Structure 1
């Protein structure tokens, strides 16, 4: 191990993820790695009530599992995993419901050697086999207002107005982006150390946005590695009311922190308009609209409490 040039630790967050872990870990063990790259796997469990810990330990051994005493959230679990790997040159963040192509780790590691790159992300392949549009421009209130008033289908006709990069060409080249959805992220140790890890106050959602934007401000850009591929089953964040509500609330709170009170108020208006206009269609939009009206900062703790108490799903699925 001492002769290895680059040591990568994959940190997989689990929360009632027993049905997904075997596939994820098998794909990591099957990685085609060059001689100068070593891979270690750690599963950080957010106090699961299923067999997640047993499944992980049976594959990795007891030293490959960190069981937290409670569900502290996704960001806190990632930080715990990184802290347990102080000698790692890079941290590979993975949701439990991911499956890596055999050359994914080597492609991500190669992408991260480009000067100025601190975060490398793969192509994310959805359950239907399609490439998901995971790259993002910086969040702005005006883009959120356009999405709220026109909907996703109309935004797709004018790609430049949407926060998501939706051109096929963006996903066939080593495209740089402001941030990317966080199912899989390769972070260099230098970037991780400069940023100081993930902000644990987010619990779930917006932690990857916050991390990438802070990294960029410190000179560490995010880049797509187009030849790295990760299949992502994905979770029902868009249909489970409290998960969707937390995503919306965190987006509002993050923009206030990131862009200031005036821009934060404009983002609040855009997100509220989006949820109210779509509230007739799903319970998730109705719940989000109601909690936004009550006040995102004030209602956020209650939403998190419900997620922790009722465990509607594996909250590591984002």
Structure 2
């Protein structure tokens, strides 16, 4: 599919969207694609993770030219992305896109320019919420000190200091192109070379931390994640943090990922800092933190982080 705007470059992008109860979100998503991909040849690949709603029918009604992959199961977000990339026709880059993202005009062309930077493998846009406010989408690598900073100061305040916060919360940082250890995964353009070198996303992370693992793995192999501020997209963002089940999955997956990359002493300290954060918030009456505290105290739950089919 070629966007309706005059083509300005020959890059071909596979736009991969995982579908799960996504039907209400798809009209605005599909409507944003032609302008968002101005000048770019693209293929839209919708991956149905056994969604119980009419996501597939809605997508095909809106975009009958789209490629649809029916996985027959809900294997999680990473599994859906991998299935979409495997089914896509030859491409120069993969655009991983949430169904609740709306591309601003020229977004993908700007991201493709960002991939031309030396060492770049992943390009991400400046993200705005539904009200036009900036979303803190850049992240620093998880460390014990940053986990402590989050527990003591909170993510927003700790993020003002590079050594203490994982979230990059300095608004000025989002006005200039820069490298990031990783970025939130709703809108990521990944070069073909990066994907082929790094391999697919890790499907053992059913939901949450799959983009963290991939971006850090890519960095380890020499492919940087770059913010391209000229590229913009709107991410409506769900309220997943309000769900006890999803919050537990997010918290325990963070500890699982840290365990994969660090030794026993560091992992124990990271687990303790994470437990401190959740326990103190549980004492403030947050039910999702109470659930996370119980899961962290059951160390086996953290090791397993069992998939939750209703979560995607």
- Is 1:231 aligned with 2:224? no
Counterpart residue number, 1:23 = 28
Give the corresponding residue for 1:76.
Answer: 79
Matched, 1:98 2:98: no
Structure 2 contact 149–155 (Cα < 8 Å) conserved: no
Q: Which moved more, 1:257-266 or 1:223-232?
A: 257-266
Residue matched to 1:213: 216
Matched position secondary structure for 1:222: strand
Aligned-residue offset at 1:30 = 3.0
Aligned to 1:269: 272
C-alpha change, 1:62 and 1:107, in structure 2 (3 Å) is closer
Q: 1:97 to 1:252 in 2, by over 3 A?
A: same
Give 1:64's aligned residue: 67
What residue is the counterpart of 1:282 in the other structure? 286
1:149-188 aligned within 5 A: 149-156=152-159, 158=161, 160-188=163-191
Kindly indicate whether the alpha-carbon contact (under 8 Å) linking 1:180 and 1:208 is maintained by their aligned counterparts in 2. yes
1:239–1:282 CA contact under 8 A, matched in 2:
no
Partner of 1:253: 256
Distance in 1 (CA, whole Å) between partners of 2:166 and 2:231 is: 23
Q: Is the 8 A contact 1:291 1:299 kept in 2?
A: no
Matched, 1:142 2:145: yes
2:129 is the alignment partner of 1:126:
yes
Tell me the secondary structure at the aligned position of residue 272 of structure 2. Answer: helix
Deviation at 1:63, TM superposition (A): 5.1
The unaligned stretches of length 5 or more in structure 2 are: 2-6
Q: Deviations over 1:206-261 (max 9, x none)?
A: 11111011111111100001011111111112110111100000000100101222
Farther off after superposition, 243-252 or 57-66 = 57-66
Normalised to the residue count of structure 2, the TM-score between the two structures is 0.92
Contact 2:98 2:186 in 1 (8 A): yes
- Does 54-63 or 182-191 show the bigger shift? 54-63
Q: Give the deviation of 1:266 after TM superposition.
A: 1.3
Counterpart in the other structure of 1:11: 16
**Deviation of 1:127 (Å):** 2.4
Taking a change above 3 Å as real, the CA distance of residues 141 and 124 of structure 1, as seen in their structure-2 partners, is same
Distance 1:285 1:51, change over 3 A: same
Cα distance in 2, alignment partners of residues 154 and 31 from structure 1: 33
Distance of 1:131 and 1:255 partners within structure 2: 28
* Whole-angstrom CA distance in 1 between matches of 2:21 and 2:83: 18
Shift of residue 150, structure 1, vs aligned partner = 2.3
Alpha-carbon shift at residue 270 of structure 1 (Å) = 1.0
Contact 1:119 1:187 in 2 (8 A): yes
Question: Aligned-pair distance for 1:42?
Answer: 0.9
- Offset at 1:155? 2.1
Using the alignment, how far apart are the partners of 2:161 and 2:37 within structure 1?
39
Question: Which stretch shows the higher mean deviation, 84-93 or 154-163?
Answer: 154-163
Alpha-carbon distance, 1:62 to partner: 6.9
Structure 1 residues 92 and 72: CA distance shift in structure 2, 3 A: same
* Contact 2:160–2:169, Cα closer than 8 Å, also in 1: no
Distance across 1 between alignment mates of 2:10 and 2:65: 26
What is the Cα-based RMSD across aligned positions, in Å?
1.8
